[in-house]
């Protein structure tokens, strides 16, 4: 959702074509480094606002946010009324921890165009700033424009649960799971909500559904252990506790890899392994961050895209999952 950009056409570059069209094709194919190289050459010889925008967008994919911000600001100087460009600029700001500035850009973007992804991005900024009310309204606005967004429904449900409104959260999370039955985090939160509502069997079912998809999900193991203990099913609780302890023992490996990455930040393989471990323990967001960093370092490694596809799928972002899977297959030489 966050990465969806309206302008990207499908296809691959063709010789003799407009270089900006070629760059767009490269971006659409996930070849962001090639696109950035091409666009940097083009911007040197024949600069344009659109070229700066495309370059900024490609740089975002390469985790070069400061440079991306510079390009996008340059593009917006000439064309201040391009809502998608402001949206992209907001993203670079958000990735750099400039949440308030990102929120301001999104407000400007929304003045120009009322798009669901803009509202969604606004919600992400507001969440980072701890402003749940703003985030909730933005998510509702996004869903009002485009109801079929499992991730937005999940986030809205999470806000309600974080406030202690378990019943409201259950409703939203059910909708999220209906739209994407593999949304592990939505199922997990559903389990928490049921548990707090006192429906231990419904909670257990939700946690089991999580574990069917991610057997090492520490949150599901932790809570299912507790539910079974409260139900007096001590033997089952003990087995689950052991599974939980085993899953959390992966933390030592995670710490080890993180220490190694601190010493050798350019090690894409270590980042990939870290992402696998994080995903195995149900830490999808951290896994995604590790994978995106790995992708920046090793953009042609298909294993990274395979895992990205899995992370996106488990987080409910089917479009991104398909895209990542497609890139992985192409990198492996498969049609």
Does 107 interact with other proteins (rule: CB under 8 A)? no
Does 77 interact with other proteins (rule: CB under 8 A)? no
Residue with tokens 């400007």: 108
With CB under 8 A as the contact rule, the residue among 14, 46, 78, 251 that binds other proteins is 251
| Residue 69 structure tokens | 């911000």
DSSP state of 199: -
* Shorter beta-carbon distance to other proteins: residue 178 or 245: 245
With CB under 8 A as the contact rule, the residue among 143, 161, 292, 327 that binds other proteins is 161
CA atoms in the 13 A half-sphere facing the CB of 262: 6
| Residue 33 structure tokens | 């480094």
* Shorter beta-carbon distance to other proteins: residue 74 or 241: 241
Spatial contact of 110 and 119, defined as CB atoms under 8 Å apart: yes
With CB under 8 A as the contact rule, the residue among 101, 112, 134, 250 that binds other proteins is 101
State the Cα angle at 167 between 164 and 169, rounded to 5°.
70
Residue with tokens 């259950």: 170
With CB under 8 A as the contact rule, the residue among 32, 217, 295, 306 that binds other proteins is 217
Spatial contact of 218 and 248, defined as CB atoms under 8 Å apart: yes
CB of 57: closest distance to other proteins in angstroms? 23
Task: Considering only the stretches 18-26, 222-230, 289-297, 321-329, report the one whose residues sit in contact with other proteins under the rule CB under 8 A.
Answer: 222-230
| Region of residue 332 (left: phi > 0; alpha: psi -120 to 50; beta: else) | alpha
With CB under 8 A as the contact rule, the residue among 71, 142, 223, 296 that binds other proteins is 223
DSSP sequence for 63-123: T-HHHHHHHHHHHHHH-TT-HHHHHHHHHHHHHTT-HHHHHHHHHHHHHH---HHHHHHHH
* Shorter beta-carbon distance to other proteins: residue 82 or 280: 280
CB of 118: closest distance to other proteins in angstroms? 20
Residue 114 neighbours by CB under 8 Å, 6+ apart: 145
Does 221 interact with other proteins (rule: CB under 8 A)? yes
The three-state secondary structure class of 47 is coil
Does 100 interact with other proteins (rule: CB under 8 A)? yes
Does 18 interact with other proteins (rule: CB under 8 A)? no
CB of 192: closest distance to other proteins in angstroms? 6
* Shorter beta-carbon distance to other proteins: residue 30 or 216: 216
Where on the chain is the footprint of other proteins (CB under 8 A)? 97-101, 128-130, 132, 161-164, 166, 188, 192, 196, 217-223, 225-226, 229-230, 241, 244-245, 248, 251, 255, 258-259, 262, 282-283
């Amino acid at each position: 959702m966050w990465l969806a950009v309206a302008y990207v056409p499908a296809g691959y570059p063709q010789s003799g074509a407009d270089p900006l069209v070629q760059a767009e094709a490269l971006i659409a194919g996930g070849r962001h480094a090639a696109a950035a190289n091409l666009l940097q050459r083009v911007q040197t010889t024949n600069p344009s606002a659109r070229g700066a925008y495309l370059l900024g967008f490609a740089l975002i994919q390469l985790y070069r946010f400061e440079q991306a911000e510079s390009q996008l600001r340059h593009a917006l100087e000439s064309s201040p009324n391009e809502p998608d460009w402001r949206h992209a600029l907001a993203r670079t700001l958000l990735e750099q921890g400039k949440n308030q500035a990102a929120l301001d850009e999104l407000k400007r973007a929304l003045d120009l165009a009322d798009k669901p992804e803009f509202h969604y991005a606004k919600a992400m900024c507001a969440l980072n700033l701890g402003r749940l009310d703003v985030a909730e309204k933005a998510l509702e606005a996004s869903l009002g424009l485009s109801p079929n967004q499992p991730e937005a429904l999940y986030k809205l449900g999470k806000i309600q649960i974080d406030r202690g409104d378990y019943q409201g959260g259950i409703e939203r999370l059910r909708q999220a799971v209906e739209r994407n039955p593999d949304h592990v985090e939505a199922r997990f939160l559903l389990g928490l909500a049921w548990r707090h509502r006192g429906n231990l069997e419904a909670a257990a079912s939700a946690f089991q559904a999580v574990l069917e998809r991610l057997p090492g999900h520490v949150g599901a193991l932790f809570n299912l252990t507790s539910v079974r203990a409260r139900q007096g099913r001590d033997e089952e609780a003990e087995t689950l506790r052991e599974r939980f302890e085993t899953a959390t023992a992966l933390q030592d490996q995670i710490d080890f890899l993180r220490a190694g990455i601190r010493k050798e930040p350019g090690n894409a393989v270590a980042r990939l392994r870290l992402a696998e471990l994080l995903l195995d323990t149900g830490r999808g967001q951290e896994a995604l961050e590790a994978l995106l960093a790995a992708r920046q370092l090793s953009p042609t490694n298909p294993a990274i895209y395979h895992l990205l596809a899995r992370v996106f799928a488990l987080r409910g972002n089917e479009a991104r999952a398909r895209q990542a899977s497609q890139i992985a297959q192409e990198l492996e030489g498969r049609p």
